[in-house]
Amino acid sequence: MAQLINGKQIASDIRQELKEEVSQLQQQGIRPGLMVIFVGNNPASQSYIRGKVRAATEVGIASEVLRMGEDITETQLLDRIEELNQDEAVHGILVQLPLPKHIDELKVIEAISPEKDVDGFTPINVGKMMTGLNCYLPCTPFGIMQLLERSNVTIDGKHVVVIGRSNIVGKPVSILLQRANATVTMCHSRTPDLATFTRQADIIVSAVGRVGLITADHIKEDAVVIDVAMNRNEEGKLVGDVLFDEVFDKASAITPVPGGVGPMTIAMLMHNTIEAAKRASEDSVE
């Protein structure tokens, strides 16, 4: 039977730590500010944004949601981002993804000032992460690393199989795991005979978005299983990639969905926003 890695509780602990940090910053006259840009009306995005605003309120970050209609042009969005780049009260800017199809996501992300890029998605921050320089780490991979550390899972010397090659999860988490001295194998939705790879893993990170992708047969005894995906099953229930009930009996530790990686994404966004406010105040002193 596995240890349940309780992301909901760990994220709550982190928010508590951050709340204390914000209250100290406020004594120095610093109030971290986060701007969330929401284009369109994707219901899942709406719910994630509500979670971000709730977390910001809890830790003492001033947050605002800038809502823009589905039919906004790319130029209008880029102009708004440029205005926010210049606004000193805004320390962190994020554009909730996905964006409507007619807008080029990469172009929009690139427009965010790297100093305010609390999602850690801009090419400058990605490049810094690749080379081990100080930067904002993307929130989901950062959250996964925190989950492993705070659950006392050893990464150093372990073989991790990452399934998924997205820019926001698979690719960056593989870099962070290598930085922590793991040997990383990258697989994805088109990898033939996935189980050949996953059965060799001490730790599996699955971020594909396919119900039932990882069964008990895919893992070796006592593996650690991190499920990043968020899917709806046939009954409309929120589930990950992993068949939780059968894998639970074979793994040594496992994250649930919901209540695993998801809440950590939001907690690390709060961490990055506070970091952005601290850096801005240091820069204004220099």
Ligand X SMILES: Nc1nc2c(c(=O)[nH]1)N[C@@H](CN(C=O)c1ccc(C(=O)N[C@@H](CCC(=O)O)C(=O)O)cc1)CN2
Interface segment toward ligand X; rule CB under 6 A; list 26-34, 82-90, 243-251, 261-269: 261-269
The correct pick among 115, 117, 119, 202 for binding ligand X (CB under 6 A) is 119
Q: Which residues contact 81 (CB under 8 A, 6 or more apart)?
A: 37, 93, 95, 108, 111, 112
The correct pick among 130, 133, 238, 249 for binding ligand X (CB under 6 A) is 238
Report how many residues bind ligand X under the rule CB under 6 A: 20
Does the protein bind ligand X through residue 40 (CB under 6 A)? Answer: no
Does the protein bind ligand X through residue 257 (CB under 6 A)? Answer: yes
Residues found in the chain: 286
Residue 96 a catalytic site member: yes
Q: Which is nearer to ligand X, 63 or 96 (CB)?
A: 96
Does the protein bind ligand X through residue 133 (CB under 6 A)? Answer: no
State the nearest-atom distance from the C-beta of 236 to ligand X, in Å.
12
165 is in an annotated binding site: yes
Does the protein bind ligand X through residue 96 (CB under 6 A)? Answer: yes
Interface segment toward ligand X; rule CB under 6 A; list 146-154, 176-184, 207-215, 252-260: 252-260
Using only C-alpha atoms, the chain has a radius of gyration, in whole angstroms, of: 19
Token pair recorded at residue 9: 């509780």
Q: Among 223, 224, 241, which residue's Cα sits nearest to residue 232?
A: 241
Does the protein bind ligand X through residue 145 (CB under 6 A)? Answer: no
User: What is the signed CA dihedral for 11, 118, 74, 171, rounded to 10 degrees?
Assistant: -80
Q: Among 207, 170, 204, 163, which residue's Cα sits nearest to residue 2?
A: 204
Burial class of residue 265, CB neighbours in 10 A (0-12, 13-18, 19+): buried
The H or E element spanning position 146 is: helix 139-150
Residue 146 a catalytic site member: no
Residue 237 a catalytic site member: no
User: What is the signed CA dihedral for 189, 177, 272, 284, rounded to 10 degrees?
Assistant: -130
Residue nearest to ligand X (CB): 262
Distances (CA, A) of 31 to 92, 103, 124, 224, 274: 12, 32, 25, 39, 9
Q: Which is nearer to ligand X, 25 or 61 (CB)?
A: 61
The correct pick among 12, 46, 51, 78 for binding ligand X (CB under 6 A) is 51
- Catalytic residues, by residue number, are 52, 96, 119
Q: Which residues make up the interface to ligand X (CB under 6 A)?
A: 47-48, 51, 94-97, 119, 139-140, 168, 230, 238, 257-259, 262-263, 265-266
